[in-house]
């Protein structure tokens, strides 16, 4: 009984999710900005981790040198600061480039061409 109830709930939720309307342009812009913020946040976290690892490595090397151990430095890429977050929304395509004014296909005959009498059905 419980399995049947779960299956019914899953089917109803799937159907409800399938009928959602498409996102508006404002919602799409907000989603793009949120994605850009997430990417920047990840880059900032990577930078902070890199700087922390450099500090730990420098501290370890200093303590090892005090105790007389030989530590050879490792070659690591430098930490790159992502800077402050600045989002520039993409420019919308101009109407001419979107193809909105173009007909869907090339017409074989003009739309005002009369139908020949021989091909008209008789009444």
> Which tens digit of pLDDT belongs to each residue from 51-69?
999 999 999 999 999 999 9
CB-based contact 57:117 (threshold 8 Å): no
Residue 31 lies in a domain: yes
CB-based contact 21:75 (threshold 8 Å): no
| pLDDT band at residue 31 using 50, 70 and 90 as cut-offs | very high
Residue 122 lies in a domain: no
Residue 62 lies in a domain: yes
Residue 41 lies in a domain: yes
Query: How many domains would you assign to the chain?
Result: 1
Alpha-carbon distance of 97 to 91, in angstroms, equals: 12
CB-based contact 43:83 (threshold 8 Å): no
pTM summary value: 0.55
> Which tens digit of pLDDT belongs to each residue from 11-21?
766 665 567 78
79: number of Cβ within 10 Å: 14
User: Can you give the residue range of the structural domain that contains 50?
Assistant: 24-84
Within 19-118, residue ranges assigned H as helices are: 25-67, 95-98
């Amino acid at each position: 009984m419980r399995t049947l109830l779960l299956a019914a709930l899953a089917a109803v939720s799937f159907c409800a999710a399938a009928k959602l309307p498409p996102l508006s342009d404002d919602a799409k812009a907000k989603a793009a900005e949120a994605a850009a913020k997430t990417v920047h946040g990840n880059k900032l976290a990577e930078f902070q981790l890199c700087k922390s690892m450099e500090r730990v490595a420098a501290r370890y090397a200093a303590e090892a040198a005090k105790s007389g151990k030989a530590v050879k430095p490792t070659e690591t890429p430098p930490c790159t600061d992502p800077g402050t977050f600045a989002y520039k929304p993409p420019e919308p395509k101009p109407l001419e480039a979107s193809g909105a004014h173009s007909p869907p296909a090339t017409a074989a005959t003009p739309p005002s061409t009369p139908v020949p009498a021989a091909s008209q059905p008789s009444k």
